[in-house]
Structure 1
Amino acid sequence: MSSQWSQGEIYESYVGRWSRLVAAEFVAWLDQPAGLRWLDVGCGTGALTTAVLTQAEPSAVVGVDPSEGFVGFARGAVADERARFEVLPAAELSTDAVGGAVDVVVAGLVLNFIPDRPDALRRMREIGRTVGVYVWDYAEGMQLMRYFWEAAADVVPDDRERDEGRTFPFCNPAGLEGLFAEAGFSDIETRAIVVPTVFESFDAYWTPFLGGQGPGPAYLRSLHPNTQTAIRHLVESRLPANPDGSIELTARAWAARGTS
């Protein structure tokens, strides 16, 4: 995963908490029998691993991530003897590296941070029978990011290409199906998962953008303070706030699964 991701607490406040909502629906959609061995690639803070443990009744779950900070956070957050976490990048995935073959391989919100996506998916296919992933719909459905990037593009037009909707153009059904097909999968399915993202105030929405982790927050931190303020004011003027100041948005993820 990108070096922009390293601290679990900051990730959780920005998108990790919403990932947990998506993870629950994703695991239910995979609908796998109990007693299987799972691998969570790019496990991050353990959101998807937790959903697997809670809903899928696995015999074991191995979570791997290239970030020592994330792996350390996950080890402290997931207290379940069926789970173990290791530092391992997607480029080094192999049956031996994860302690043997697994039944199900999953990857939540990580595929866009892997440089060679087809290679990573091929490695996942070689390790497990069923592979499932999900990514945010950066271009259209991830509203908390869309409001930010659209305001940033209006304030700094020359930086439009920094928008995650542009840098991750495959995060849609056609893009995911193409990657899975290139990696040799058959019986490929996709679906949308939409979850609510509710903020009690504008500050609750904006503060996670100040953490510096992830493409949006990292970009914001790189700007002059006056430019940051201009983006903040524009975003605040556009967000649909309720009379009590709360902001109700939604986040859409696209999920895909395939078998060898």
Structure 2
Amino acid sequence: MNDIAGFDAWNAGQNYEHYMGRWSRQIAAKYVEWLAPPRDAAWLEVGCGTGALTEAILSHCGPRSLLSTDPSDAFLAHARSTIDDRRVRFEAASGQGLPADDASMDVVAAALVLNFVPDRPSALAEMQRVLKPDGWLSFYVWDYPGGGVGFIDAFWKAAAEVDPEAAVLDERRRFPFCTRDGLAKICHAAGLRSLAIEPIEIETVFLDFEAFWRPFTLGAGPAPGYCASIPEGHRAVLKSHLASALKSNGPIRLAARAWAVKAHRDADGNSRPRRSPR
């Protein structure tokens, strides 16, 4: 358990789709509705993954252009193969080194990724560097500390009961700042003020326990990474324990909640949330 981040394994596009992608798409659609950004804007997306937010921006926000970045070549390849739109360009980049000029973007956004960025203050500073003086900075993360992703929370509770050492990998423990107050503190430290921070929720539905369990066996993400790392016998015990804890003979329905953040930076350097007419 020394290399906790090694279990994150954010690299296999199709496997990520089965594990988180379908839920990421639902939350992305709700997020852009809540954000209500200006149309005909130049966007930069930090950590596009397989393209959930990318698709939502293209479908609902009427962008003039969209630069979607991610450090994973596998994720970028998946996004390029599924999204064909002349307004978007995909480039490999980390959150600490965005491939854009100073003050060149109207909107800079990040979906479900900021908690996995090694240096969050640097990433937020970089996002502000490329943002126009009157631009929008926004991101959202899962509410891990509040058990906001029900199916992940259920997995880690069962895993810790079977293997107490698994508790150190739980996102609830790894990302305690993913709360309203924690995110406000990080943003204030980055020089952002008058933030809007609100919860966005969806329901995750699995047809049965096998449909619930299978994504955890695919290795893409912290919980699947852990699941893939343990011996087959141990994995069978975990599966049985999780099935007993869920106590379901039919569909499994669990809530998923994210915290969304937005700030509008005025030309005088202040930041405040603002809803723009569409």
Q: TM-score when scaled to structure 1?
A: 0.94
Deviation at 1:170, TM superposition (A): 1.1
Q: Distance in 1 between matches of 2:212 and 2:91?
A: 32
- Do 1:199 and 1:247's aligned partners in 2 also have CA atoms closer than 8 Å? yes
From 8, 11, 29, the counterpart of 1:24: 29
In 1, distance between residues paired with 2:129 and 2:31?
A: 22
CA RMSD of aligned residues (A): 1.6
Gap change, CA 1:87 and 1:103, over 3 Å in 2: same
Whole-angstrom distance in 2 between the partners of 1:125 and 1:256 = 14
- 8 Å Cα contact 1:125-1:185 kept in structure 2: no
Report the Cα offset of residue 127 of structure 1: 1.3
The runs of at least 4 consecutive aligned structure 1 residues that moved more than 4 Å come to none
Task: Name the residue aligned to 2:141.
Answer: 135
Corresponding residue for 1:126?
Answer: 129
Deviations 1:102-149 (A, max 9, x none): 100110011111000011011111212211111111221110101100
CA distance 1:211–1:54, shift in 2 (3 Å): same
Report 1:1-260 matches (<5 A).
4-93=9-98, 95-96=100-101, 101-128=104-131, 129-139=135-145, 140-241=147-248, 245-260=250-265
Deviation at 1:94, TM superposition (A): 5.1
Gap regions ≥5 residues in structure 2: 266-278
Q: Secondary structure at the match of 2:194?
A: strand
8 Å Cα contact 2:219-2:227 kept in structure 1: yes
- Give the aligned residue type for 2:167: R
2: CA distance between counterparts of 1:70 and 1:158?
30
Unaligned runs of 5+ in 1: none
Alignment partners' CA distance in 2, 1:158 and 1:46: 33
Inter-partner Cα distance in structure 1 for 2:77 and 2:99: 22
Instruction: Name whichever of 65-74 and 179-188 sits farther off.
Output: 179-188
**Equivalent position amino acid for 2:51 in 1:** G
The share of aligned pairs that are identical, in percent, is 42
